[in-house]
Copies of this chain bind each other. A is one copy, B any other.
Amino acid sequence: MSKILVVDDEKDIVDLVSLHLQREGHEVVSVGNGLAVVPEAIRSSPDLIVLDIMLPGIDGVQVHRRLRADSRTRHIPVIMLTARSQTNDRIAGLEGGADDYLTKPFSPRELMLRIGAVLRRSQKVVMLAEQRIGDFMLDRKNMSLSINGQQIDLTITELKLITTLMANPDVIHSRGELLNAVWGYADDTQSRTLDTHIKRLRDKLGTYGAHVGTLRRQGYFFQTQVEQKVKA
C-alpha cells in the first residue's frame, strides 16, 4: 500500500520490521547508514520513514533534522525508535519533531499500529473533481465553471474568487479571507481590488441567476437562489 523507508544499522531489526511491513502489503526500502537517508528519501520518496536514533556516524536526531531541512523530504512523516535507557528529555525533544516514537524493545505489532496511525493521519486529502452548487458546476480538473453544461468564461483571478465563495455557499467570507485565498495576503484593507473583482463576477454570473451578496463590514457570500425580501 505505502512505501516505507526503514533506517537501522542492525540488520536483524531491519529484517524484522521489513517482514511485518511487507505482510501488510507495504513496500520497504532500507538503509543502514545515517548519511544515506536523505539521498535515499529523495530518490524513493517514501510515505513514511522509520528511523532508529542509534546510528553509526550520524545519529537519528541529526538525520531527522536534515530530513526537515530539505524541501524534498520535509513532508515525510518520521517514526523514531529510541532506547529506553535514554533520558526522558531527549524523548521530549523528539516529540517536537518526529510524528511518533517508540522505545526499544518494542513489539512489531505496536510498531505496525503506530505506522498505520501515522499513515492514516498523513493520508492524502481528496476533493471532489466536480462540485455542484445550485445550477453551477465547478470542474476542478479543467479549472472551469459551467452552468447547464455551458462554460462560463472566467479569468484565473475570478475563478479563484468564486471558488472560495462557492466552497461554502451562504456563509460570509470576510475580505481578509478572500484576499488571503485569492491573492495570498491578508492585510490590504484599503485596496479596492476585491470590490472590483466582485463586481466583475457579479456582471458575469448575474446573467445566470447567481448572486454575490454583501454584508457591510462583514464580507461577501455566494448564493444560487436569491432570497426575496418582503417589503412592507
Closest to A124 in B: B128
Q: Is A72 an interface residue (CB 8 A)?
A: yes
Closest to A137 in B: B75
A224 to B73, CA, bound (A): 13
A residues 113-131 near B (Cβ < 8 Å) are 124-130
Copies of this chain per assembly: 2
**Contact assessment for A71 and B149 in the assembled complex, using a CB-CB cutoff below 8 Å:** yes
**Contact assessment for A156 and B129 in the assembled complex, using a CB-CB cutoff below 8 Å:** no
Q: How far is the CB of A124 from chain B (nearest CB, A)?
A: 5
Q: Is A86 an interface residue (CB 8 A)?
A: no
Number of chain A interface residues as a range: 20 to 34
Residue from B127, B148, B225 in contact with A140 in the complex, judged by beta carbons closer than 8 Å: B127
**Contact assessment for A125 and B130 in the assembled complex, using a CB-CB cutoff below 8 Å:** yes
Q: Is A87 an interface residue (CB 8 A)?
A: no
**Contact assessment for A160 and B142 in the assembled complex, using a CB-CB cutoff below 8 Å:** yes
Residues of B within 8 A of A225 (CB): 42, 72
Residues of B within 8 A of A45 (CB): 132, 134
**Contact assessment for A72 and B134 in the assembled complex, using a CB-CB cutoff below 8 Å:** yes
Q: Is A187 an interface residue (CB 8 A)?
A: no
Contact with B along A156-180 (1 / 0, CB 8 A): 1001100100000000000000000
**Contact assessment for A148 and B75 in the assembled complex, using a CB-CB cutoff below 8 Å:** no
Q: Is A141 an interface residue (CB 8 A)?
A: yes
Closest to A147 in B: B71
Q: Is A203 an interface residue (CB 8 A)?
A: no
A–B Cβ pairs within 8 angstroms, 25 of them: A42-B225, A45-B132, A71-B147, A71-B148, A72-B134, A72-B135, A72-B225, A74-B149, A75-B132, A124-B129, A125-B129, A125-B130, A126-B128, A126-B129, A127-B128, A127-B129, A127-B140, A127-B141, A140-B140, A140-B141, A142-B160, A142-B181, A143-B160, A155-B156, A156-B156
